[in-house]
């Protein structure tokens, strides 16, 4: 099972994703993993990471991997549940703050996502992917910002297409856009 959960900054998307991951893990068994794509940096960022860990509570195995999603997935036991938080930070690491920066092309990042989705299904890992809604306003004039947003748009479309559930969270309220087995008119 794969779920894609998006929403604006501090919309409640991570809280909703954590609840879904807990539910799936309770139903399926196996371990529950949290894949953090953020790299700890400033004191403010460290404090935010600490608050997130405390809010999640016990029962999570935390993996920290800012870029190589496949390497992280390989550390997850088959039959487990994995929460990836978040695709937005992963994209920024891939583009600007990793060994890929400078030689990155969109196809390479999309290929990594495609592989992640396929291998999660193959290994029976329930995967919950979180991302920010970042392209809600006027198109940016900056070339690098446009490059980042264009990549995220393509990544979001891919994940949403492959996901069994697609949920957008606004002001803490989830809107289900897609759920396997439910027809929408």
What's the chain's Rg over C-alpha atoms? 16
List 28, 52, 121, 179, catalytic entry: 52
- Hey, which bits of 20-66 come out as E strands? 32-36, 61-64
Q: Determine which helix (DSSP H) or strand (DSSP E) holds 178, and give its type and residue range.
A: strand 173-179
> Residue 49's CB: how many other CB atoms inside 10 A?
17
d(CA 122, CA 106): 24
Active site annotation includes 156: no
Which tokens go with 26? 């309770």
Cα-based distances in Å from 184 to 16, 166, 177, 180: 22, 13, 8, 10
Provide the pairing of β-strand 126-132 with 61-64: unpaired
Residues belonging to the chain: 185
Dihedral of the alpha carbons of 49, 50, 56, 57, in degrees to the nearest 10: 160
Point out the residues that are catalytic.
52
């Amino acid at each position: 099972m794969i779920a894609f959960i998006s929403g604006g900054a501090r919309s409640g998307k991570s809280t909703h994703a954590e609840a879904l991951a807990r539910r799936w893990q309770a139903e399926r068994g196996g371990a529950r993993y949290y894949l953090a794509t953020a790299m700890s940096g400033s004191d403010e960022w460290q404090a935010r990471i600490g608050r997130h860990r405390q809010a999640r509570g016990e029962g999570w195995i935390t993996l920290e991997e800012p870029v190589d999603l496949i390497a992280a997935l390989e550390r997850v036991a088959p039959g487990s549940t994995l929460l990836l938080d978040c695709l937005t930070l992963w994209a920024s690491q891939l583009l600007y703050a990793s060994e890929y920066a400078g030689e990155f092309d969109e196809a390479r990042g999309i290929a990594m996502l495609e592989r992640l989705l396929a291998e999660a299904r193959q290994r029976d890992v329930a995967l919950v992917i979180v991302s920010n809604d970042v392209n809600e306003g006027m198109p940016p004039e900056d070339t690098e910002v446009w490059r980042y947003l264009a990549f995220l748009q393509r990544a979001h479309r891919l994940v949403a297409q492959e996901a069994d559930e697609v949920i957008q969270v606004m002001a803490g309220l989830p809107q289900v856009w897609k759920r396997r087995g439910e027809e929408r008119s």
